[in-house]
Amino acid sequence: MMEDEDDMKLGVVFPQTEIGTDPAVIRDYAQASEEAGYEHLLVFDHVLGGKLERFDKLGRTPPYTDQSPFHEVFVLFGYLAACTRRLELVTGIVILPQRQTALVAKQAAAVDVLTGGRLRLGVGIGWNHVEYEALNEDFHTRGRRVSEQIAVMRKLWTEPVVNFKGSYHHLDRAGINPLPVQRPIPVWMGGMAEPVLKRVAEISDGWFPQFQPGDEASHTLDRVRAYIKEAGRPLSAVGIEGRFTYGIGGPTEWAKRAREWRDLGATHLSVNTMGAGLTPRGHIDAILKMRPALDGV
């Protein structure tokens, strides 16, 4: 399906915690998404879960625990690279500060090479202190480190040999090989805190906001757009990816929500089928059912 470059691009949220472990189902889900005309597949990320009691200080029930299954994103994308031909593979988001920067750059470059340039790397700082602890990274400096990490990755993706000395990284005549197809790979950001909004405006290629269309969303977007202008960047430099769930209703509600995201200025939109009590193959049926309702939006 050919689309104008100005059209909002439609994608699916990979049902990480509900898809199961059958490789055939995972393959069929990705291929069904592509054949239905979705343009991208977005994957959530967690390396480790923790027991519920580890999150007593969080002040709320965590969205995921040790009972929540997650496929590792870069390994999954290596598999899907061979299963798909056109589908853009998106991390939404990789928790960057809990990982070694050069290793993420290498893994991302490998996915980009194997897919022929179909990776979009969404990154964020996360909320799971248990995960940071187990990966031996500092939870408390994660916000300060992420901007430098992005700068290092972009140099590694565009320069065969890199020299870099920052607050958290030191590279002395080192580089990754092969370089990615996209130089650099697009880096999007997730999060809603005010420092995140400023980072989005200043250094990201796009943003995954955590709201639904409405007055609050419009006000937040106005602030982000003001920050983008302050940074001396055109508004078109920063994409916006919306998301809504299968459970909001049927075709009428799906089309209405998609139009609301389009009117808000979203460049991308993903549909999420998790949380609706579906079986692994039920997720395939759901994204196929939703797709016709989104035609012409």
pLDDT attached to residue 3: 39
pTM for the predicted model, two decimal places = 0.96
Q: How many CB atoms lie within 10 A of CB 38?
A: 25
Average pLDDT over residues 196-223: 97
**Per CATH, domain 9-189+241-294 is 3.20.20.30:** yes
The stretch 2-9 carries a mean pLDDT of: 64
Please tell me the predicted confidence (pLDDT) of residue 297.
87
Q: What is the mean pLDDT of residues 278-297?
A: 96
The pLDDT score that the predictor gives to residue 1 is: 30
- The proportion of the chain whose per-residue pLDDT surpasses 70, expressed as a percent, equals 98
pLDDT in tens, 41-58: 999 999 999 999 999 988
Q: In the chain, where are the structural domains located?
A: 9-189+241-294
pLDDT greater than 50 at residue 195:
yes
Q: Tell me what the mean pLDDT of segment 126-152 comes to.
A: 97
- Mean pLDDT taken over the chain: 96
